[in-house]
């Protein structure tokens, strides 16, 4: 019997059939056993893949799914610091937090993302419901407002979203978004200006380098397309192409508009005269006086709001980082008014007598979407909304690279003190001390050995960046004291056991103030 596991498939079938027929087993059972590998092995009383405890060993490739990645402790420490900066800014502006499911009904996401809808992850039928993984946090937020009949809220949400994209460097299928939104009927451009102020604050605090916030208005872009002779039914498709202008040269985009989008060259050239314009208040004034645009209702509405927005941004002191860019389109369908995008930049050598700003990548974006909630409300009730989304994954990559290049030590824990001993047989006493520290809210550790070497304990502190060491020994136990050691300076102080918690709090507070 022991050699039967080496039988070929045909030999195995012959053997199995004869054995089962001899036992009076039905033909149906023979067919089932041939299909069932586990039963086959059980019949032979052997299972080379079965491990102790009844579990089966599986030969699988150890890798993360394409477009996803693991995050290591030092990376998580950097990310948590970034999250803290972002959340503190959101809270400073009065936002409250919500959460929504990671999946939504498929029909709720359909028709909200334009050509990008092909990137939505659709799930199998689950209990009679067709579901999709959320593509962003904005559409679920609009559903949340309509479903809960909320007409006024300032919220933030940090969560993962999913896109069936082709992964590349810095682009994932699963990634975080950090959103801040203001929903409600308010006076024009006041919430919008605050959103831009928040982007400015976060990028300043994170110290990522020079940045620029590009601003446009979808109504102005619609007006431009209209006066250039583009049919209204083509606006959405043309905007999707225009949104590539910061990534591809104008000549390539022109060719796409003519060859793929079937626009006549004269129309494309007229569009190009507008969408390549950038500037500030002077550009807004010039466009307001443009004889063609001034006759278009959409364009004038957009220019009026941009003019008011610029006025408020001056008061907030952020216009030095703001630029009106008529080539900014933002591909998502739900935008209805002001749109914006923040990029990290550096200056390039002048080309063709023009100084180009080459952007490293978009790190924030957003805009106004006044009609999205109305799609979900049974009565079509609209709730005007404006919001921002921080490109947190790209920011993670930038900050992680800077930390790696600077050789900065990243603390992966917040441990304040290590409880140690230079002598043997003090495990139980260390446990008593650390229990007191834990109960008092002190972040403390000790090594999981009965008698670790004292030098090993000190090295652990240095590797982990733990600032303090509490040492107990025979003399300290007898006198009711401990030694408190500063790891950086190696200075030691004798502290009464009853004063230890207070002394640690005092020292860690002083350290935090220095940083």
- For 258-265, what is the mean pLDDT? 90
Give dist(CA 82, CA 399) in Å, integer.
Answer: 9
pLDDT recorded at residue 510:
64
**Which ranges of 385-485 does DSSP label H, i.e. alpha helix?**
392-406, 427-439, 454-464, 474-479
Q: Is the predicted pLDDT of residue 88 greater than 70, yes or no?
A: yes
Give dist(CA 272, CA 294) in Å, integer.
Answer: 18
Give dist(CA 367, CA 354) in Å, integer.
Answer: 29
Residue 289: φ, ψ to 5°: -95, 0
Is 162 a known ligand-binding residue?
A: no
Give dist(CA 417, CA 471) in Å, integer.
Answer: 10
Is 334 a known ligand-binding residue?
A: yes
% the chain with pLDDT above 90: 66
Give 182's strand partners.
Answer: 154, 386
* 278-279 and 153-162 beta bridge pairing: unpaired
Give dist(CA 470, CA 6) in Å, integer.
Answer: 63
Give dist(CA 23, CA 45) in Å, integer.
Answer: 17
* Side-chain half-sphere CA neighbours of 476 within 13 A: 23
Give dist(CA 474, CA 178) in Å, integer.
Answer: 53
pLDDT recorded at residue 23:
43
pLDDT recorded at residue 57:
63
pLDDT recorded at residue 55:
60
Give dist(CA 230, CA 275) in Å, integer.
Answer: 14
pLDDT recorded at residue 240:
83
How does residue 35 score in pLDDT terms, banded at 50, 70 and 90? very low
Q: Which carries the bigger pLDDT value, residue 61 or residue 147? A: 147
Q: Is the predicted pLDDT of residue 120 greater than 60, yes or no?
A: yes
Give dist(CA 228, CA 263) in Å, integer.
Answer: 11
Give dist(CA 25, CA 19) in Å, integer.
Answer: 9
pLDDT recorded at residue 21:
41
Q: Which carries the bigger pLDDT value, residue 406 or residue 511? A: 406
User: Which of 98-112, 326-340, 490-504 has the highest mean predicted lDDT (pLDDT)?
Assistant: 490-504
Q: Of all helices (H) and strands (E), which one includes residue 178?
A: strand 174-183
pLDDT recorded at residue 124:
82
321 DSSP assignment = G
Give 285's strand partners.
Answer: none
Give dist(CA 205, CA 92) in Å, integer.
Answer: 13
Is 143 a known ligand-binding residue?
A: no
Q: Which carries the bigger pLDDT value, residue 79 or residue 37? A: 79
Would you say 381 and 152 are in contact if contact means Cβ atoms under 8 Å apart?
no
pLDDT recorded at residue 392:
92
pLDDT recorded at residue 304:
96
pLDDT recorded at residue 50:
53
Give dist(CA 495, CA 497) in Å, integer.
Answer: 6
Is 255 a known ligand-binding residue?
A: no
Rounded to the nearest integer, the mean pLDDT of the chain is: 86
Give dist(CA 143, CA 43) in Å, integer.
Answer: 56
Helix, strand or coil for residue 64?
A: coil
Residue 155: φ, ψ to 5°: -130, 160
How does residue 503 score in pLDDT terms, banded at 50, 70 and 90? very high
- For 401-413, what is the mean pLDDT? 87
Q: How many residues are listed for the chain in this entry?
A: 515
4 DSSP assignment = G
- For 38-54, what is the mean pLDDT? 49
pLDDT recorded at residue 330:
85
Q: Give every CB contact of residue 191 below 8 A, 6+ residues apart in sequence.
A: 182, 184, 386
pLDDT recorded at residue 89:
98
- For 458-465, what is the mean pLDDT? 94
Angle at 136 between CA 134 and CA 138, to 5 degrees: 115
Would you say 334 and 143 are in contact if contact means Cβ atoms under 8 Å apart?
no
- Per-residue 3-state assignment (H helix, E strand, C coil) for 284-298: HHHHHCCCCHHHCHH
Hey, what are 473's tokens? 């020994």
Is 260 a known ligand-binding residue?
A: no
The pLDDT tens digits for 277-295 are 999 999 999 999 999 999 9
Is 330 a known ligand-binding residue?
A: yes
Is 137 a known ligand-binding residue?
A: yes
% the chain with pLDDT above 70: 84
Give dist(CA 227, CA 28) in Å, integer.
Answer: 75
Q: Which carries the bigger pLDDT value, residue 390 or residue 2? A: 390
410 DSSP assignment = P
pTM of the predicted model, to two decimals?
A: 0.81
pLDDT recorded at residue 125:
78
Task: Return the beta strands (E) in 184-270 as ranges.
Answer: 211-217
pLDDT recorded at residue 241:
87
Ranking 36-40, 84-88, 221-225, 388-392 by mean pLDDT, the lowest is 36-40
pLDDT recorded at residue 512:
62
Give dist(CA 373, CA 383) in Å, integer.
Answer: 6
Q: Of all helices (H) and strands (E), which one includes residue 96?
A: strand 96-97
Give dist(CA 459, CA 443) in Å, integer.
Answer: 18
pLDDT recorded at residue 350:
43
Hey, what are 443's tokens? 């972040």
pLDDT recorded at residue 514:
54
The pLDDT tens digits for 334-392 are 899 999 999 998 654 444 433 344 445 789 999 999 999 999 998 889 999 999 999 99
């Amino acid at each position: 019997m022991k050699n039967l596991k080496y039988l070929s498939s045909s030999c195995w079938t012959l053997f199995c059939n004869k054995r089962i027929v001899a036992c009076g087993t039905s033909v149906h059972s023979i067919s089932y056993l041939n299909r069932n590998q586990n039963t086959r092995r059980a019949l032979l009383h052997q299972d080379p893949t079965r491990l102790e405890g009844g579990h089966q060993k599986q030969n699988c490739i150890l890798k993360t799914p394409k477009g996803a990645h693991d995050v290591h402790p030092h990376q998580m420490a950097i990310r948590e610091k970034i999250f803290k900066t972002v959340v503190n800014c959101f809270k400073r502006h009065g936002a409250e937090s919500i959460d929504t499911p990671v999946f939504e009904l498929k029909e709720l996401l359909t028709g909200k993302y334009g050509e990008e809808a092909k990137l939505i992850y659709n799930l199998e039928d689950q209990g009679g419901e067709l579901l999709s993984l959320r593509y962003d946090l904005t559409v679920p937020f609009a559903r949340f407002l309509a479903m809960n009949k909320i007409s006024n809220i300032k919220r933030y949400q940090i969560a993962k979203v999913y896109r069936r994209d082709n992964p590349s460097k810095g682009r994932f299928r699963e990634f975080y978004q950090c959103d801040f939104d203001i929903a409600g009927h308010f006076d024009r451009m006041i919430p919008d200006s605050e959103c831009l102020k928040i982007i400015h604050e976060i990028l300043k605090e994170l110290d990522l380098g020079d940045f620029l916030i590009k601003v446009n208005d979808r109504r102005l872009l619609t007006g431009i397309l209209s006066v250039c002779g583009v049919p209204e039914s083509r606006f959405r498709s043309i905007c999707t192409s225009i949104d590539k202008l910061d990534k591809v040269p104008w000549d390539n985009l022109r060719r796409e508009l003519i060859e793929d989008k079937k626009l006549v060259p004269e129309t494309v050239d007229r569009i190009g005269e507008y969408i390549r314009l950038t500037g500030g208040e002077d550009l807004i004034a010039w466009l307001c006086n443009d004889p063609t645009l001034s006759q278009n209702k959409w364009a004038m509405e957009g220019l009026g709001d941009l003019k008011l927005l610029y006025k408020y941004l001056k008061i907030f002191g952020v216009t030095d980082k703001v630029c009106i860019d008529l080539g900014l389109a933002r591909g998502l369908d739900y935008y209805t008014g002001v749109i914006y995008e923040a990029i990290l930049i550096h200056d390039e050598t002048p080309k063709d007598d023009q100084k180009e700003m080459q952007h490293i990548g978009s790190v924030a974006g957003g805009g106004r979407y006044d009609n999205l909630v109305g799609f979900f409300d049974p009565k079509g009730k609209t709730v005007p909304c404006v919001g921002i989304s921080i490109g947190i994954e790209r920011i993670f990559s930038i900050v992680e690279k800077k930390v790696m290049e600077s050789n900065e030590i990243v603390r992966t824990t917040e441990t304040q003190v290590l409880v140690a001993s230079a002598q043997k047989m003090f495990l139980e006493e260390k446990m008593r001390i650390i229990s007191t520290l834990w109960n008092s809210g002190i972040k403390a550790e000790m090594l999981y050995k009965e008698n670790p070497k004292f030098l090993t304990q000190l090295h652990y502190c240095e590797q982990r960046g733990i600032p303090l060491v509490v040492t107990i020994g025979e003399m300290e136990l007898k006198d009711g004291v401990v030694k408190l050691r500063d790891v950086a300076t190696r200075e030691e102080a004798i502290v009464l056991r009853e004063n230890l918690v207070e002394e640690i709090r005092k020292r860690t507070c002083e350290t935090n103030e220095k940083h």
